[in-house]
Amino acid sequence: MSGAADLVRGRLGGLIFQRVAGPQGPARRRLIHDAPGERWFPADRPVRRVHGDSSMFIGGITALLLQSLHPLAMAAVAGHSGYRGDPWGRLQRTSYFLAVTTFGRTSDAREEIRKVRAIHQRITGTAPDGRPYAASDPHLLTWIHIAEADSFLRAHARFGAEPLDQAGRDGYVADLARIGAELGVPDPPRTEADLTARIASYRGELAGTVQAREAARFLLLTPPLPAMARPPYTVLAAAAVSLLPGWARRPLSLPRLPVTETALIRPAGHALVRGIRWAIAPPPAVAS
């Protein structure tokens, strides 16, 4: 029975890893985890616990929904990211960035950040409302950073294997601030209270634009997935929406269903995240 379970685990884990990491995944994983050298974060840092947990599958969707509420950030995504034509490529690039900056060597993390900053310098344009945007704008970089930090922390608090205490939550925000500062975020928040206040300071700029609602529909309802992957993805998407506060749902026309979320969506989200965690974890060692 154990052999059959390990076979299923290996196949499922391989499929998930291939989808998230892409064809370069195995080589990149060896480089990130096995190459000798200095890392930004020691093994006991909160950022490693959060970014290494399967709750990130939910937190990543929440972050994209939240980020879309800034009209200029959404215009940059719609105009330059190719999220419709190459959504999996975008996911793989994002997952590599998070992995190499969290677990990889300092030199590799800095090289990846250098590449991202160079790309940001080339992304400029005009939003549908006539305002110019630039991906390198520190104000927009800050919004992207804090939306990610808030979403990943919410997802880990609700669906993580080992939720952090308050000191750990503050430590996670401080860890992420190091990455944000390297990316060009001026004075990123370093405690959860600072993060909450910074999110609130952007509320007046946020709106559910046509581009944002189209992106939400694509992300939640029509992602390019095979039929067998749609039911579990629907659970992930519903769990991601459940993490959004009401003020972030309304502009995207996303419902708030407290009873359904408590009775169905949260338990289903927990079960699915546990299943992913089981699939991608290495099988337990056999005692000799």
Question: What angle do the packed helices 138-159 and 266-280 form, to 10 degrees?
Answer: 90
Predicted local confidence at residue 11, as pLDDT:
73
Residue 285 lies in a domain: no
Predicted local confidence at residue 145, as pLDDT:
98
Are 239 and 58 a contacting pair, CB within 8 Å? yes
Q: What 3-state DSSP class applies to 153? A: helix
Predicted local confidence at residue 282, as pLDDT:
64
Summarised one tens digit per residue, pLDDT across range 42-79 is 999 999 999 999 999 999 999 999 999 999 999 999 98
Residue 287 lies in a domain: no
What CA–CA distance (Å, rounded) separates 132 from 137?
A: 11
Are 161 and 112 a contacting pair, CB within 8 Å? no
Neighbours of 18 (CB within 10 A): 14
Are 154 and 172 a contacting pair, CB within 8 Å? no
- Bridge partners (DSSP) of residue 126 are 132
DSSP 8-state symbol, 265 = I
Residues in CB range of 275: below 8 A, 6 or more apart:
232
Q: What 3-state DSSP class applies to 125? A: strand
Q: Which domain holds residue 276?
A: 2-280
Q: How many domains are contained in the chain?
A: 1
Residue 286 lies in a domain: no
Residue 237 lies in a domain: yes
Residue 288 lies in a domain: no
Low-confidence ranges of the chain (pLDDT < 50): 1, 285-288
Secondary structure element (H or E) that encloses residue 126, with its range: strand 124-126
End-to-end CA distance of the chain: 19
Predicted local confidence at residue 287, as pLDDT:
41
65 CA to centre of own chain: 10
Secondary structure element (H or E) that encloses residue 220, with its range: helix 210-221
Burial state string for 208-233 with b = 16 or more CB within 10 A and e = fewer than 16: bbebbbebbeebbeebeeeeeeeebb
Tokens 């969707």 found at: 61
Neighbours of 62 (CB within 10 A): 24
Predicted local confidence at residue 66, as pLDDT:
98
